[in-house]
Chains A and B, each alone.
Chain A
């Protein structure tokens, strides 16, 4: 059974501070790592998809890195804003990619305090 773990489970951060959280995943037969941002009552929104070891991706104040050999990814948020409050999900896929389903972590619930 594949197990994707995220830590911490929840996080309170002061507005303006930077923060990061972790996703760890089985590295055997790894294909792709996804990060999603999920606000209450909305659809999960894709942030990044990464496939190569050493990948780094950036979107505005949010960035992510990937280490496929040791099976972890970090998500970084610089200068947190209240609108960053959400649950951040990571998910991995394996083997052939294609139509394989994603295996999700439980998410990191981020609360930005003004």
Chain B
């Protein structure tokens, strides 16, 4: 069964460093998303991506964040100059036709900023 894969599963980084979280969405899906969950809080939407550009972004997704789909298969989230409060589980998701279809989530990358 096709699945969304994320790497790495866990990343520890020093405050101020840049991190890149990687995702391989399901190949025939058209919509891609990043979400995060800070420990004990709700899953929060960060950004959606469609037709090779950002479609929607939340207030969380400021200039510190960027996304790319560099090669038609990978979908990356870059966080520049990480802060302690960026520590969270980051989930990638994809779906074939937008939000009236089920989204498929990866297992997440746990980011720890120290």
Report A's interface with B, CB cutoff 8 A: 4, 31-32, 34, 36, 41-46, 48-49, 51, 89, 91, 93, 97-107
Contact = CB atoms under 8 A, between A and B. Distances in A.
B43 A101 contact: no
B102 A99 contact: no
Contacts of A46: 102-104
B25 interface: no
Contacts of A98: 31, 50, 55, 98-99
B107 A104 contact: no
Q: How large is the interface on B (under 10, 10 to 19, 20 to 34, 35 or more residues)?
A: 20 to 34
Contact of A49 (B31, B41, B47, B100): B100
A77 to B, nearest CB: 19
A47 to B, nearest CB: 8
A101 B48 contact: yes
Contacts of B91: 43-44
A32 B57 CA distance: 18
A50 to B, nearest CB: 9
Contacts of A51: 100
Contacts of B100: 31-32, 49, 51, 97
A104 B3 CA distance: 21
Given A42-B107, A43-B3, A46-B103, A104 B58 contact: no
